[in-house]
């Protein structure tokens, strides 16, 4: 397929809602955690393909703020999977010149997750190829509200004149500051919604819905 892709029309930034792990596992007669474990391979394949094609930014919706309301056992399993995956993949990221970043309220993650994530980000910070962005404990509404709070504090302290607030300034206070907006958003599993993902940033993105379940 690579030969059929026009590199001049390649999106600079692709965002993905990785949906369908639970349904995939159910079809296999297994628990939802089984689907999450197999989702890791799909993450690896998409990351490697994006890097090979020359995509600059790939954002994966890995864990939303709403996911915290899932059953405790499933959340704990997801957190353990996150830690083990980061540990296993960091050498591959370095080898493939991939820089790891994250967006979201990561302070809500377990301490061990925060530690592994920060270590991987530090180890890959000088890589110059694909930037892989994990959206963890993220939601678009959280991102916008957090930006509003920070701008309000800056106005209160006299750092910002309210008349200077425009879309460019607002974007600088989002978690995606210095990251271009996605030209393309892909969602798997056939669901026709954006699920509180990059609400400001997706304003002009092309959207592709795939019926295929993420794993």
Distance separating alpha carbons of residues 158 and 152, to the nearest angstrom: 10
Which residues make beta-bridge pairs with 131? 57, 99
- Contact by Cβ (8 Å): 199, 177: no
| Residue 181 annotated among the catalytic residues of the structure | no
- Contact by Cβ (8 Å): 2, 53: yes
Strand 184-187 relative to strand 13-17: parallel, antiparallel, unpaired?
parallel
Distances (CA, A) of 185 to 22, 134, 193: 21, 14, 11
CA 64 to centroid of chain Cα atoms: 9
| Residue 19 annotated among the catalytic residues of the structure | yes
Point out the catalytic residue in the list 67, 127, 146, 196: 67
Point out the catalytic residue in the list 6, 9, 19, 150: 19
Residues labelled catalytic: 19, 67
């Amino acid at each position: 397929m690579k030969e059929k892709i026009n590199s001049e029309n390649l999106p600079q930034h692709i965002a993905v809602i990785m949906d369908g792990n639970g349904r995939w596992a159910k079809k296999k007669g297994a628990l939802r955690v089984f689907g999450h474990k197999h989702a890791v391979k799909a993450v690896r394949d998409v990351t490697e393909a994006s890097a090979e094609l020359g995509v600059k930014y790939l954002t994966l919706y890995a864990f939303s703020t709403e996911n915290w309301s899932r059953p405790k056992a499933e959340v704990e399993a997801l957190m353990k999977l996150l830690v083990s995956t980061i540990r296993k993949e960091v050498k591959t990221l370095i080898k493939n010149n991939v820089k790891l970043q994250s967006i979201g309220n990561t302070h809500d993650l377990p301490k061990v997750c925060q530690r592994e994530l920060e270590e991987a980000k530090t180890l890959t910070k000088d890589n110059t190829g694909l930037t892989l962005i994990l959206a963890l404990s993220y939601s678009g509404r959280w991102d916008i509200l957090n930006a509003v709070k920070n701008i309000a504090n800056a106005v209160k302290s006299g750092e910002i004149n309210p008349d200077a607030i425009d879309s460019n300034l607002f974007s600088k206070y989002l978690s995606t500051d210095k990251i271009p907006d996605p030209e393309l958003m892909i969602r798997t599993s056939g669901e026709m919604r954006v699920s509180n993902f990059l609400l400001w940033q997706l304003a002009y993105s092309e959207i592709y819905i795939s019926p295929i379940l993420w794993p």
